[in-house]
């Protein structure tokens, strides 16, 4: 197993001169529309929660625990990648732990200037100690609300059915999404092992959420082919697609996705980890972007993939050769593709467009003196600073 970091991070001193440094990406306003709560905890928090809850972990030293979870390791398959969750889920079985993990996730996102996020998880995975499903949902909403009060970050929730558990369990999750619609839950997703578990098996859950006008996104085209994306769109009614790596295998569907402006939630480093792509240069993101598709860049799992949105955007720029002007377009697409109500989305986008305009195409903040109001063109009258003198 190889460290993802080793192949994808240029040491700063060997960066080509025209590569914009990571710090610039950290300063930009951003979204994270595809991030799993149970894959995005802080490692120290896992250790602390385990101690408090008397849960026995396979290691208590954070470095060892990170390697057991497989943070940043290339697994090559989605099924192996999902094993790290066995560890994180052990400590996420109480309301207090869920509240804390949600707060800290939003706090970490805020620290890299994420303005809007949609946190996803499946409540059924958090009831091993008898916590009620409704308590699970409310604990996560409480944590995200506390982060909003502290930092102003807006974070909503997407509830997930799990493809490899059962359609009946997915239906229970769909019921929760309906019950909490308009109260912090903005969507429904289907996650888990993709192979042999097509989304159409969970059709009843999708029918319930769609009848209740709940937004739908589905993990598709990650470990299984374009057919899974077609099912997600045409049978299950997805409004967005999680990953969509294998959409490039079907030109007609690719153009359908483009024509209908269906957003793709791309998570490049995670795709390398699960073997959905060989390496970052093999990722179809740039192809999709150049074809005009609505592409968003996300983390998937901040702990397990050992990443942030800033880092993902930076890798898109430095490894895939996407210019900074297109990075700004990717960020705008994130704000355009959120499951917020239209008017909120529009207002957030307007603010972000104005902020991004302050950066030129080399990622530099334009001088205050060069802002449109103050620029004098050839032939303009000289500015009089102190009139009458
Ligand atoms: Zn995911």
Q: How far apart (Å, rounded) are the C-alpha atoms in residues 228 and 275?
A: 17
Q: Does residue 368 lie in a domain region? A: no
Q: Residue 91 above 60 pLDDT?
A: yes
**Contact call for residues 108 and 42 (beta carbons, < 8 A):** yes
Helix %, strand %, coil % for the chain, to 5?
A: 50, 15, 35
**Contact call for residues 57 and 45 (beta carbons, < 8 A):** no
| Count of alpha carbons within 13 angstroms of residue 287, beta-carbon side | 14
> Across residues 131-148, what is the average pLDDT?
98
Residue 243: enclosing H or E segment and its boundaries? strand 240-243
Q: Does residue 370 lie in a domain region? A: no
Q: How far is residue 115 from each of residues 103, 118, 325, measured CA to CA in Å?
A: 14, 11, 20
Q: Does residue 213 lie in a domain region? A: yes
Q: Does residue 373 lie in a domain region? A: no
Which has the higher per-residue pLDDT, 342 or 79? 342
Q: Residue 253 above 60 pLDDT?
A: yes
Q: What is the pLDDT of residue 10?
A: 46
To the query of whether residue 99 is one of the catalytic residues in this protein, the response is: no
Q: Residue 16 above 90 pLDDT?
A: no
> Across residues 60-81, what is the average pLDDT?
88
Domain CATH code at residue 34? 3.20.20.140
Which has the higher per-residue pLDDT, 147 or 377? 147
Q: Does residue 367 lie in a domain region? A: no
Q: How confident is the model over 193-242, as pLDDT tens digits?
A: 767 778 888 999 999 999 999 999 999 987 778 999 999 999 999 999 99
CB-neighbour burial class of residue 213 (10 A; exposed 0-12, middle 13-18, buried 19+): exposed
CB atoms within 10 A of CB 341: 11
Query: How does 233-248 read in b/e, with b if 16+ C-beta sit within 10 Å?
Result: beebebbbbbbbbbbb
Span from the CA of 79 to the centroid of ligand 1 (angstroms): 12
Residue 295: enclosing H or E segment and its boundaries? strand 295-297
Here the tokens at position 333 are: 């697409």
Span from the CA of 33 to the centroid of ligand 1 (angstroms): 10
Span from the CA of 266 to the centroid of ligand 1 (angstroms): 9
Q: Which of 99, 112, 194, 222 is catalytic?
A: 222
Q: Does residue 1 lie in a domain region? A: no
**How many domains does the structure of the chain reveal?**
1
Which 3 state secondary structure label does DSSP give 62?
helix
CB-neighbour burial class of residue 263 (10 A; exposed 0-12, middle 13-18, buried 19+): buried
Q: Residue 118 above 70 pLDDT?
A: yes
Span from the CA of 159 to the centroid of ligand 1 (angstroms): 12
- Boundaries of domain holding 61: 20-359
pLDDT bracket for residue 368 (50, 70, 90):
low
Span from the CA of 303 to the centroid of ligand 1 (angstroms): 13
Q: What is the pLDDT of residue 81?
A: 84
Q: What is the pLDDT of residue 18?
A: 87
Span from the CA of 34 to the centroid of ligand 1 (angstroms): 6
Q: Residue 308 above 70 pLDDT?
A: yes
Q: Does residue 315 lie in a domain region? A: yes
**Contact call for residues 214 and 192 (beta carbons, < 8 A):** no
Q: How confident is the model over 153-206, as pLDDT tens digits?
A: 999 999 999 988 999 999 999 999 999 999 999 999 999 876 777 888 899 999
Tell me the CA end-to-end span of the chain in Å, nearest whole number. Answer: 74
Q: How far apart (Å, rounded) are the C-alpha atoms in residues 132 and 13?
A: 52
Instruction: Tell which residue, 97, 114, 111, has the closest CA to residue 41.
Output: 97
Q: Does residue 98 lie in a domain region? A: yes
């Amino acid at each position: 197993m190889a460290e993802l970091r080793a192949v994808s991070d240029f040491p700063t001193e060997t960066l080509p001169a025209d590569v914009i440094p990571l710090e610039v990406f950290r300063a930009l306003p951003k979204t994270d529309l595809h991030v799993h709560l149970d894959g995005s905890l802080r490692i120290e928090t896992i250790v602390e929660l385990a101690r408090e809850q008397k849960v026995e972990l396979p290691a208590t030293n954070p470095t060892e625990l990170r390697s057991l979870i497989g943070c940043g390791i290339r697994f090559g398959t989605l099924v192996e990648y999902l094993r790290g969750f066995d560890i994180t889920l052990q400590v996420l079985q109480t309301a207090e732990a869920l509240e804390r993990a949600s707060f800290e996730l939003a706090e970490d996102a805020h620290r890299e200037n994420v303005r809007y996020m949609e946190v996803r998880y499946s409540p059924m995975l958090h009831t091993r100690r008898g916590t009620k499903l409704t308590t699970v949902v409310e604990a996560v909403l409480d944590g995200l609300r506390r982060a909003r009060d502290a930092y102003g970050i807006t974070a909503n929730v997407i509830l997930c059915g799990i493809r490899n558990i059962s359609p009946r369990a997915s239906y229970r999750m769909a019921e929760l999404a309906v019950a909490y619609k308009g109260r912090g839950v903005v969507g429904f997703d289907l996650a888990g092992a993709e192979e042999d578990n097509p989304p159409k098996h969970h059709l009843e859950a999708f029918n319930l959420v769609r009848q209740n006008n709940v937004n739908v996104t589905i993990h598709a085209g990650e470990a299984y082919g374009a057919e899974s994306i077609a099912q997600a769109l045409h049978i299950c009614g997805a409004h967005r697609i999680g990953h969509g790596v294998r959409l490039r295998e079907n030109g007609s569907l690719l153009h359908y996705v483009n024509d209908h402006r269906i957003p793709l939630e791309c998570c490049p480093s995670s795709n390398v980890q699960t073997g959905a792509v060989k390496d970052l240069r093999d990722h179809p993101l740039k192809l999709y972007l150049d074809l005009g598709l609505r592409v968003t860049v996300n983390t998937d799992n901040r702990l397990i993939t050992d990443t942030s949105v800033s880092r993902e955007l930076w890798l898109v720029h430095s490894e895939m050769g996407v210019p900074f002007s297109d990075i700004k377009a990717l960020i705008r697409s994130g704000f355009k593709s959120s499951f917020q109500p239209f008017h909120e989305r529009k207002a957030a986008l307007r603010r972000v467009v104005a902020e991004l305009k302050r950066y030129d195409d080399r990622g530099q903040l334009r001088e205050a003196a060069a802002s449109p109001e103050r620029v004098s063109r050839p032939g303009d009258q000289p500015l009089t600073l102190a009139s009458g003198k």
